[in-house]
Amino acid sequence: MLRKLSVIAAVAGLLTAGVAGPALAGHGPLEAKDVHWSFEGPFGRFDQAQLQRGYKVYREVCSACHSMSLVSFRNLGDKGGPFYDEKYPNSNDNPYVKAIAKDYEVADIDNETGDAIKRPATPADRFPAPFANEAAARASNGGALPPDMSLLAKAREAGPAHIYSIVTGYVAPPAGLKVDPTSHYNPYMAGDLTSYWSGSHEHVPPGGFIAMAPPLKAGQVTFDDGTPSTLDQQAKDVSAFLMWAAEPKLEERKQTGFAVLLYLLLFAGLLYASYRKVWKNESH
Amino acid sequence: MSGHSTYEPKTGFERWLDARLPIVRLGYDSFVDYPTPRNLNYWWTFGGILSLCLASQLITGIILVMHYTPSADHAFASVEHIMRDVNYGWLIRYMHANGASMFFIAVYIHMLRGLYYGSYKAPREVLWLLGCVIYLLMMATAFMGYVLPWGQMSFHGAVVITNLFGALPVVGESITTWLWGGFAVDNPTLNRFFSLHYLLPFMIAGVVILHIWALHVVGQNNPTGVEPKSKADTVPFTPYATVKDGFAMSVFLILFAFFVFFMPNALGHADNYIPANPLVTPSHIVPEWYFLPFYAILRAVPDKLMGVLAMFGAIACLFALPWLDRSKVRSMRYRPTARIHFFIFVVACCILGVCGAKLPDDQIIPGLTTFKVMESDLNSFVWLSRVAAAYYFAFFVIVMPFLPLSEKTLPVPDSIASPALSHPAAAPVEATAAPEMKG
Amino acid sequence: MAVAAGGAAAIAWPFIDQMNPAADTRALASIEFDVTKVGEGQQVVVKWRGKPLFVRNRTKAEIAKAVADDNASMKDPEKDSARVKPGKAQWLIVGGNCTHLGCVPTFGGGDYGGWFCPCHGSVYDTSGRIRKGPAPKNLIVPEYAFLSDTKVKIG
């Protein structure tokens, strides 16, 4: 057990030594690209068609390595979710959701024999992780741990724009940068490349190394609604989907907020009127 | 303050209760009939706003505990359970998380108001001290609350703050081990922080009662700093102060709601949505915004023990303030020089806040390399924070006690209602110091 | 009076001492680690007693740099040879927490070729000695022994 733990830790160490460097003297990553999202602004809402496309990208590409352990299948059919249908207020009954869940297998225990078994997932199950544990995930990915995607869009400063920038931002490493064969240069990745750079100290390239190879390319996913499957489109859609996965209550929050603000403005106005009335004859 | 009570029980039940437990009388005397200086401005509404903040934090906090699991293995997931599955859980959690920031915005304004108008001066020293105790308890509560979601910032914030005690000579290490309940921040630490995070707000509520009690003994200060002398100087608390406080609260709630509903994560850190990992420190670790000035003071000092002492000293200055300030004039409205220092002080605090959020060696003006003093470039945030921290302390230990020796003050009005000198604009510029009129 | 005070102190102690590490926490085992997993110029982070531990396979240049600085002015002067086991100068095993406030420093930052702490800017050299910044002490060298050429027992 201890041996196993130390292996995990060992690989973690190798990785962090390369990736997580402090932003010294401004050799930070490039600022994330500016993307327009449908869910921006006080009245922003998720674009359901985009979420469906984004889900397809996640299903067919990302989910091979990235878990999404905080999201359940039923969430896909929740209000604001990619497969929400008014006919099924209880997302557990949503046939789309049921069909999606059935495609996955989850681990369970046989009630009678007590053996470990696999069974088709139900809408109540969470998305199963592609790897049994962290060590297995690292072993299959050259030592790097693909981060869980449930909160990814909120766990980065720039949010979904960061995901979009990473996925679309791969460029050939500048001459003079020593790139390890298992990693890739990405100017939007956090890190400090000073110790890998042979050129002058002032011109260290922005960004860092990422273990993930460019994951998307044009035409990789066929969109059911006929949207042209460009790299840009896929990246945008999957980033929007991940924002939904991270903040599924975003629409509800903004709608409630609008009503609350309206009420508070009215309330404040009324109180101001009473304040003026009460103090009318008092000098102060 | 008000001498005798004017409460008259109207119904039989009220008379019966009043003879046994005069609680309605207490409420009436404190919040209805209580004489309030008539010239209180909007800076005086933050006391009421703070009560609202405390109530909101207590209610949302107690609700969150119904769904939260204090365990290193489950804390992060249980917070996400609140966000995703609990009915309106997202609302309650965002209210609690942003409520903490709102609480601190209000308390800082409240404290600066006290500082500007001399509300800490005799006879209000105990009132001020109780306020400082509340502030200290708030900081402890907020720090421990931030640890509970057990994200990356939670964990490493807890590591940094608990290690502060390790700076103490001899006993430091034993104290940190005792605080952690282990050899590192781990499950025992999370559990005890949870226990204390639940306890401290009730202690705050207790000290708030003492704070209000002390306030009602000595009476409210006011923008002139002159004690009310007659009925003409005051108005009854209800409806005059109640309606004004109510209006201010509703405006404050608009700001609060704006953060909760439209930018709920703006005041937090993205890294805290990554579960805690003891093996990797986030590349840019900073505390919550309301601790940034103290964090900058800590980092401004190159020695560990001295840095910790400076940070605690910055808070200790607040406690000592009533005895540091030797001015005879209470309100800075009549102290033009002190007023300039006050505004520099506010700017210094803001600069410290900015420095606390930056990496110490980052350049203030990018690209400009000057020369190094004490191993750091002069054009770096660490030097800016040193300058600002020096002013912070100078304000308390030099300006406060020694400025009054040579300070020219404006004439202070005889009473609040006296219109002739009620505002500095109306006062002659070349006026000499007027002794404070004791009310 | 004295009896009452003594009794109060005696009853207070259990309430204070309960916060100290519990028996299961104190019973932390030592760990064994196979150093062949660390390539030259690489570092591995092992979790030990809930904290990270750096196991670093230093290059010749790094060792030379550390030895050359043995007599430089330092906050916590220590010879490089005192921080490694005799004949095993390439293996540097140090606690992975900054001695300032316990953050985990990252390798490859700072001006001394060693670690840089992102929290408050402490800089350590290739021997893990504090060279700049607020940390008072060198990175701590834990108790450890080589069981064989490739296996090390820590703790």
**Rounded alpha-carbon distances, angstroms, from residue A210 to A146, A164, A183, A198:** 10, 14, 6, 19
**pLDDT tier for residue B99 given thresholds of 50, 70 and 90:** very high
pTM of the model: 0.88
- 284 residues of chain A, pLDDT tens digit each: 444 444 444 444 433 333 333 333 446 789 999 999 999 999 999 999 999 999 999 999 999 999 999 999 999 999 999 999 999 999 999 999 999 999 999 989 988 999 999 999 999 999 999 999 988 998 898 888 999 999 999 999 999 999 999 999 999 999 888 888 888 999 999 877 877 788 887 788 898 889 999 999 999 999 999 999 999 999 999 999 999 999 999 999 999 999 999 999 999 999 999 999 999 877 65
SS3 A210: strand
| Residue of chain C minimizing CA distance to A22 | C118
| Residue of chain C minimizing CA distance to B161 | C101
- pLDDT of A14 reads 39
Strand order in the sheet with C123-125: C106-107, C113-116, C123-125, C130-132
Q: Report yes or no: B159 at the C interface, CB cutoff 8 Å.
A: yes
Size of interface B-C (CB pairs under 8 A): 99
Count CB-CB contacts under 10 A for residue B142: 20
Residues B225, B328: contact at Cβ < 8 Å? no
Give this complex's ipTM: 0.87
Q: Which of C37, C60, C88, C120 is catalytic?
A: C120
User: What six digits make up the tokens of A269?
Assistant: 């106005």
Tell me if B359 and C133 make a contact (CB, 8 A cut-off): no
**Rounded alpha-carbon distances, angstroms, from residue C74 to B318, C78, C135:** 37, 8, 12
Tell me if B262 and A257 make a contact (CB, 8 A cut-off): yes
Task: Dump pLDDT digits (tens) for C59-112.
Answer: 888 898 888 888 888 888 988 888 998 888 889 999 999 888 888 888 877 778
Distance (Å, whole) CA C155 – CA C153 = 7
User: What six digits make up the tokens of B376?
Assistant: 């750091």
Tell me if A17 and C47 make a contact (CB, 8 A cut-off): no
Does residue B317 surpass a pLDDT of 50? yes
Q: Report yes or no: A274 at the B interface, CB cutoff 8 Å.
A: yes
**Rounded alpha-carbon distances, angstroms, from residue B36 to A37, B1, B30, B40, B199:** 52, 11, 10, 8, 33
Chain-centre distance for alpha carbon B376: 32
What's the alpha-carbon Rg for chain B, to the nearest Å? 24
Distance (Å, whole) CA A10 – CA A17 = 11
Residues A233, A227: contact at Cβ < 8 Å? yes
Looking at this protein, which amino acid is placed at residue B312? F
Residue C120 annotated as catalytic: yes
Distance (Å, whole) CA A258 – CA A261 = 5
Q: Which of B44, B236, B239, B261 is nearest to A271 (CA)?
A: B239
Tell me if A2 and C31 make a contact (CB, 8 A cut-off): yes
The tally of CA atoms less than 13 A away on the side-chain side of residue B307 is 29
For residue C134, the chain B residues in CB contact (below 8 A) are 299, 301-304, 307
In sequence order, the β-bridge partners of residue A208 are A186
DSSP character at residue A33: P
